[in-house]
Amino acid sequence: MLAKKTLARKGTPDGRAEDRRDALGISGLSLAVGTGERAIPLLADVTVRVGRGETVGLVGESGSGKSLTARAALGMLPRGARATGGVTVADVDVLAAGRRQLRDLRRTRASMIFQDPRASINPVRRIGDYLTEGLRARGVPARAAAERARDLLDQVGIRDPKGAMRRFPHEFSGGMLQRVVIAGALSTEPELLLADEPTTALDVTTQAEVVGLLKDMQRVHGTGMLFVTHDLDLAAAICDRVYVMYAGRIVEEAASASLFAAPAHPYTRALLEASPSVHGEKAEIKAITGRPRALAESPSGCSFRDRCPLAGDECAGTVPAHRPHGTSLVACVRPEQVTP
Amino acid sequence: MKRTLADRNRKRTFAGWIGKRALGGVLTVLLASILIYGALRLAPGDPVLAMTGGRRLTPDQVEALRHRYGLDQGFMQGYLAWIGDALRLDFGTSMNYQTSVTSLITNRLGVSGVLILYSAVLAIVFGFAVALASAVKGGLVNRVAGIVAAVTTATPTFVSAIGLLALFSVGLGWFPATGAGTGLADRLWHLTLPAVAMAIVAFGVLARVGNAAFAEELRREHVEVARSRGVSTAAVIRRHVVRNALAPILTIIGLLFASLFVGTAVVETAFGLDGVGSLLVSSVSRRDFPVVQGIALIAVLLFVVVNTLVDLAMPFIDPRVTVGGPGR
Amino acid sequence: MTLTIPALRARSAKRRRRRPLIVSLAVAFLILVAAMGLLAPVLAPHSPDATSLLNSLLPPGAEGHWLGTDSTGRDVLSRIMYGARLSLLAPLGVVLLSGLLGTAIGLLAARAGGWADAVLSRGMDIVFAFPSMLLAMLVVAVFGPGLTAPICALAVSYTPFVGRVVRSVAIQEGTRPYMESYRVMGFGELWVTLRHLLPNVVPVLVAQSTLAFGYALVDLAALSYLGLGVRPPDADWGSMISQARSAILQGEPWSGLLPGLVVLLTVVSVNVLGEHIGGSIGRKQSEGA
């Protein structure tokens, strides 16, 4: 175990090309709750890859399964759920891992940052307790853990780290708490950071600060990051690549740079047009007709076809396979009608 | 520099808050004591005749009694004399036993005290265990525990007392039916059935309240966060679930002490134990007022003290409880 | 957990909305017990007071005595039927009185506000701190055994149990805009309170009163068990159990256990019903919001 870990640390953070191991590799992941007739599918054939030190966005509306996907990376499946496909985090097969292996994975390889920092930290325990919990679980002595926690608090820009350790969560603002959460997530030196809407619960002004901090910390620590958000603009701004998710499926994968110029999936384009963006030439905002679907209630064939302006008969037959179009990988039969 | 000032302010509001709570408790006991004393004056006809319950007394004896209980004085004077004595632990003399009420009570505290503590330990240990197990396991365990808790909550103490008596002492002969025993082991053996009978309702209430509290805490996001960090299940439950559910559970334990005290009256009567509870029952039926008043006052005092202590413990259990907030 | 999956939630909501079987069973049992009490003269196979020393302590299932007889040969079934009358009527009295008092105090506190609210609320806190059984025993000591005094004492004791909830609902409802508009239209405070606030309070009043009925039944039966409640020749379930004490020690527990079982089942049924009513109010409110 230990030997493996030191080996892993040898790869340079930014040397993506020569490192064969991805921080996160999800391939063909399907998830369902229940069995037989009453089974409710939640995810279908989800493939997501995060290289070492890479920032990858996972974008979708609520209910699209993006949080489920992020949690699956830590082996945190809904109660009674069955998963097929593959999930590996730094060479650990998550779906096959036992309790102990999963625990070790969460203690050393991967950390998660949740949406609401106020809900993420136990309100009756001190900040220092929260920060050292992950390290202590791994067996780091109390004193060393506290020292490391103070150092991290300093790094994320909390003044008077020593005093902050003794404070309770309700004495901090939301933005400050999210800094604490980030420090806590990085305390175990993970190779993979899963950020599940880390700025949604914050004020707009603090959002930018926290995102900036997250990027800085990720760069300094060389951590791969899966950034889950419903905000396509934000994802495109900070990520290297972006996956767009709809109704439990990945509908498009593209480099952030090309996403605005050339969306390949009608849903991606609809998302771009629906957001009050400063990037587009048109000031007009178009809402997407209908409401977002979960996988269980989506139509046959392409899940998006009941809301898609371009849908035709051929969309109803089978789920469209992913195919390259421009620089994207898209699950649509006629991407040339979206962006030629 | 700034922080020491803030700390000092916090300390001052904390002292004020403690004072407020304590004052509330004192006020409750004060009003309860007026009620307990006043009850005697409420009695239809001459209170002394009510007190003596038909025993024949000479006019001199009646006059002596009237003087002794301050009935020849105004209400306030009589009350002040009575409460003044009570504060010095002098509750007067029993009409029935012709001895001091204080010695009557203290002689029986051994039985009732052990009984209350014994049943409290049983109720807390088993109630806590069932609540935690059912909340964590869920499913069938939770359903069965829910039914058990609903039934035990609704089981009157006298029903459990006769049920246990019929089954375990008369039927199976495992436990004695009467008496309190001598020496610690023998006493615990004698008091096991009575303690279980008393603990049953408290167990049910704790199992339900605890289950709800644990289940609520288990759903919290910080529990999931702790799991996502690879903290072991046992540590998650101890540090995040049990720790956070402590406040409502402690509150209910405080309230349950009142029902345990009342339980001693029933259980000591059912199992023929000579304790404070059975003394209260026999004194009520003999209208031995000084004894009833003494026990009632002590009971209210204990109940208020326990619940005020629970209140005062809250800011230490949950730092979000604002000490400076309105005292309610 | 924090991840909600709508499809799963819809399924469990459906299961919850149907009235559970246990509630129907509870209602059926309560109707049965009430009918036994009401129709005791018609239904009872024997006079509840007819003693027969030859037939004393018969076990359940004996010929002519389905549930056996007690130590003086009285028919247990008939005594349970007649006992239901006092056992159910007395707590009903407690609930009616405390409901009336609690509603009046709760509404008054909510509408008056200010120092009146503070005094009334503090008063309810103090009454709440006084264990109900202790108050009942105190009045028995003053007025002697019997049910009237304990019924009044328990009614006072349970008033905060009703009053606190009525007060909070009334305060909540009083802040709704329509209340203000009535006042602007010139309707009197009393009229608005009785006509519009009271109906909103009724559901919680019913729920709390149902639960209070169960508590009062247990308290009063316990008083009778201790010999401080009903006086012979009247009998309720509590006094039946009390009279079976020597029989239990002789190893003939049935004349005590059977009325005990009836008390237990009645209280369980009342609690199930009360919690169901309370729960459905909570659901309706959360759905309406």
Q: What is the mean pLDDT of chain C?
A: 84
Task: Output the six-digit token pair for A135.
Answer: 């390290």
Q: What is the dihedral of CA A294, A299, A301, A306, to 10 degrees?
A: -100
Contact between C5 and A71 using a beta-carbon 8 Å cutoff = no
CATH of the domain at A226: 3.40.50.300
What is the topology classification, in CATH, of domain B108-317?
A: MetI-like fold (1.10.3720)
- ipTM of the shown complex: 0.86
Looking at the complex, report in whole angstroms how far the Cα of residue A135 sits from the nearest Cα belonging to chain C. 25
Nearest to A134 among B229, B240, B243 (CB): B229
Q: Give yes or no for residue B212 having a pLDDT over 90.
A: yes
Residue indicated by tokens 């038909």: B54
Q: Give yes or no for residue C90 having a pLDDT over 50.
A: yes
Task: Write out chain B residues lying below 8 Å of C270, CB-based.
Answer: 154
Nearest to B225 among A105, A120, A124 (CB): A120
Looking at the complex, report in whole angstroms how far the Cα of residue B305 sits from the nearest Cα belonging to chain A. 25
Residue A278 forms part of a structural domain = no
Question: Is B230 touching A (CB cutoff 8 A)?
Answer: yes
Residue A130 forms part of a structural domain = no
Residue A66 forms part of a structural domain = yes
Looking at the complex, report in whole angstroms how far the Cα of residue C87 sits from the nearest Cα belonging to chain B. 14
Superfamily of domain C87-287: MetI-like (1.10.3720.10)
Looking at the complex, report in whole angstroms how far the Cα of residue B126 sits from the nearest Cα belonging to chain C. 21
Query: Tell me, what amino acid is at A290?
Result: G
- For residue B290, the model assigns a pLDDT of 87
Residue A108 forms part of a structural domain = yes
Size of interface B-C (CB pairs under 8 A): 140
**Percentage of residues in chain B with pLDDT exceeding 90?**
40
Domain hosting residue A108, numbered range: 2-116+191-239
| Domain segments of chain B as ranges | 2-87, 108-317
Nearest to A297 among C1, C2, C7 (CB): C7
pLDDT per position as a tens digit, C51-76:
777 777 778 877 777 787 777 778 88
Task: Write out chain C residues lying below 8 Å of A68, CB-based.
Answer: 3
Which residues 159-178 of chain B have a CB within 8 Å of chain C? 159, 162-163, 165-166, 170-171, 177
Q: Which chain C residue has its CA at the smallest distance from A33's CA?
A: C8
Residue A26 forms part of a structural domain = yes
pLDDT per position as a tens digit, B317-328:
888 776 544 433
Task: Write out chain C residues lying below 8 Å of B176, CB-based.
Answer: none
Contact between C248 and B162 using a beta-carbon 8 Å cutoff = yes
Nearest to A33 among C2, C6, C8 (CB): C8
Do B92 and B69 form a contact (C-beta atoms < 8 A)? yes
Which chains sit next to B, with 3 or more Cβ pairs under 8 A? A, C
| Domain segments of chain C as ranges | 87-287
Q: How many domains does chain A have?
A: 1
Residue A198 forms part of a structural domain = yes
Whether the full predicted model's pTM is greater than 0.90, yes or no, is: no
Contact between A124 and B319 using a beta-carbon 8 Å cutoff = yes
Contact between A297 and C3 using a beta-carbon 8 Å cutoff = no
Q: Residue C27: left (phi > 0), alpha (psi -120 to 50), or beta?
A: alpha
Residue B205 pLDDT grade (very low, low, confident, very high; cuts 50, 70, 90): very high
pLDDT per position as a tens digit, C17-33:
567 888 999 999 999 99
The per-residue DSSP string of A225-257 comes to EEEEES-HHHHHHH-SEEEEEETTEEEEEEEHH
Task: Output the six-digit token pair for C179.
Answer: 């209340």
Quote the CA–CA distance of A95 and A77 in Å, as a whole number.
10
Residue A186 pLDDT grade (very low, low, confident, very high; cuts 50, 70, 90): confident
Question: Is C10 touching A (CB cutoff 8 A)?
Answer: no
Task: Output the six-digit token pair for B147.
Answer: 């039914």
Task: Write out chain C residues lying below 8 Å of B28, CB-based.
Answer: 125-126, 129
Task: Write out chain C residues lying below 8 Å of A63, CB-based.
Answer: 6
pLDDT per position as a tens digit, A37-84:
788 889 989 999 998 889 999 998 888 889 999 999 998 888 888 888
List of residues 6+ apart from A192 with CB closer than 8 A: A23, A24, A50, A73, A89, A90, A109, A110, A111, A223, A224, A225, A226
Contact between C2 and A40 using a beta-carbon 8 Å cutoff = no
